[in-house]
Structure 1
Amino acid sequence: MLKKVTPLLLVAAVSACSTPIERRQANGTDDFLNAETTPKLTIPEGLNSPTYSKEYDIPSVGTKSDKSIIGKKLDIRAPLQVLPMAEGTHIEETSDNIRVVIDSIESTTDLKQEVFDVIKGYLLKNNMAIRTEDYGSGVIETDWIEHQEVIESNWWGSDKVYTLRQRYSYNIDVKPHGRSGSVMINLLEHEEFYNGEDQKILLSGDDKRRYTTDMLNNAISYMSIERDRAIRAARIKQSLGIKVDLITGGVDDPAYWLADANYNSVWNRLRIVLPEMGFDIVDMDNSKGLFFISLEESGGFWSSLWAEEKLTLKKGNYRLLLEETDNPEQTKILLHDVEDNELSNEAITEVYQVLSDLMQEDRKPVGDSQQQAPVQREERGEGGKKGGQRP
């Protein structure tokens, strides 16, 4: 059957390319395999032997090397290297395999689920079907992945096509603590056809390593894109204001503040807000949800907010505590004195007016919200008006 072509293209009736097998082989003939070894010069008795240069000496073949891999059997391509391009990844390499170690970058994210979603997302995006998956054992097996390349194109007949078919398995292992895990990949099946004929290729260990390295790099590259997107989304979320309510009970019930955000978001925002409120952060313990803070002045900055009214909150040291609630998107904030005693409801209400305003302000997203420079207390003028810009 004649293919539809333009008259100009008819000049080139047939075009041919090298096959994938030929690309891994050195150009030219294999005549060097039959090269004869020339003996050294015979030095007559009584004369000194000349000094021979060792610059071009060929090293001896190692004891573990396969001496049969010569000529066309030798793969001249440079080896591939696993590239841990995604945030929070690095390589652990042994003599048997290579695995990419993945650390969690967000404490609220299920690492195993994240890695599973990344692998499946990469396969789906590239139209690679999944044959089986087992979340419990952490295994994803692909169906046949087929790649075709036209080696010889004939305008009047059928093209000669080189077909590569492979199946892979991804093994995902996450440690019980959930903060780190790893991904390994294995080549399960491999077939190569040229013009419909099976090439019966037997892969060496280096061949399998090359194919699996390429597939693993592609998956990690996809993870890099997904993690960058998640990091940007998290920064935007952290930059948004956090609504804080004042909760007051009865006469005997201490007042506290309730923030509409998860524990980590509230903790990170308070690290910015507390210095802006005039508190110095002396020490902190994230595992206990505890800030040790100090108020160096209870007049001036604070009293200007209420037109020189006398404040209940005095100069000194305090403890600010965070507690998780039944709702993961709400966090309880308590303010105690240095001896961990509850403050009066009046003092909690006074501080709330400033805390609520600062916590609800939207911030400019940055690489790390904790790196935002706190506003100096002198930037507030009378009536609490801001005399400077916050980051």
Structure 2
Amino acid sequence: MTRIRPLALAALTLPLLAGCGLFGGGKSDEYQRTKSTREQPLEVPPDLTSPTYDDRFAIPDPKASTSFSTYQQGRAPGAAGSGPVNLAVLPPIANARVERSGELRYVVAKAEPGQAWPVVREFWLDQGFSIAREDAAAGILETNWRENRPPVETDGIRGLVSRALPGMYSSGERDRFRARIERGAEAGTVEIYVSHRGLEEVFTSTLQDSTRWVPRGGGTDRGLEAEMLQRLVLKLGEPTRKSEPVRMADAKPGPASVAGTSQGRGAAPAASGAQNAVLQNAGAGPIVLNDGFDRGWRRVGLALDRVGFTVEDRDRSKGTYFVRYIDPDASKVDNEGFLDKLAFWRPAEKSAAPQFRIAVAEAGSGASSVTVQDSKGATDTSATGKRILSLLFEQLK
């Protein structure tokens, strides 16, 4: 076995140790120099200013002591980073507002009916609807059924086909709205009520080869109604020139309200736990509302719109709505065939629905009653009259 002598090993090791010093100091020296260099702050050029920093998202020091007084100072209005962001959320409109009385919402605008009518009509066209019914004498504008197509991200073949042929895929949902304009209780104002009806397409067989349209979610979406009312307020508050943006300083807030709404004139909301409506005499009527005449009149009018009654006329002084009851057949929505459309020689079918009167009257202190009458003003006790009361009660209860 060959051994390496200690002297020879030492002779070989010394040159190696000496060689490390030829390439400068070790890594620890380099880290120290780098650290000391990076600690020097950057100099700002003479023609620039130091940038300002927002400390709203600064991470607090976990070792620092915090007291309630310090927290309050940080939340003070004048504290740095605590100022509100100036966004045009629910801008106040000078000549229109949303009134709220309990669950009832409607728009009050400073305008004459003839001035509000074209604005409301243009509003529905701006929303992508076409007008199906215009009755200026009754103050009613009703849209056609329109498919509700939410923005859904699609990719692959379906996304390509959807972009090339938008009508290839259907969402299976339809919406229509009705706006009713009435003279306001205050001189020079109008009240505008908006009602919604929704349908959805469902399969009628296990093979899923046939469908029909049924009311969606009870037929009425109160959230959509509230959204359209708020949009209508913005439309009514637009400046004369559309190119001119609405200036926030020029807009004056309406009456005391919360998010653009306020309680109705002298109408208190229903007491907690109290029933909004009671259908008496085992469905034969009348319907007793826990509201006075003014609010009861508005509630009945909105219920008629939501159910789909054709309101031909109304007389608020006598508390009477003149309506025709046409049972909405949802299965016939957009169900007209191509050959039916070509049959222009065929006369349109006229509805022979009889006329009814919906009477609203005072029924004691803070209450009102709703009855169904025939065309001559007598109480209607027929099966159709009970059906009308039942439909109204579903909306009023």
Q: What is the TM-score when the length of structure 2 is the normalising length?
A: 0.30
Which one has the bigger strand percentage?
A: 1
Q: What is the TM-score when the length of structure 1 is the normalising length?
A: 0.31
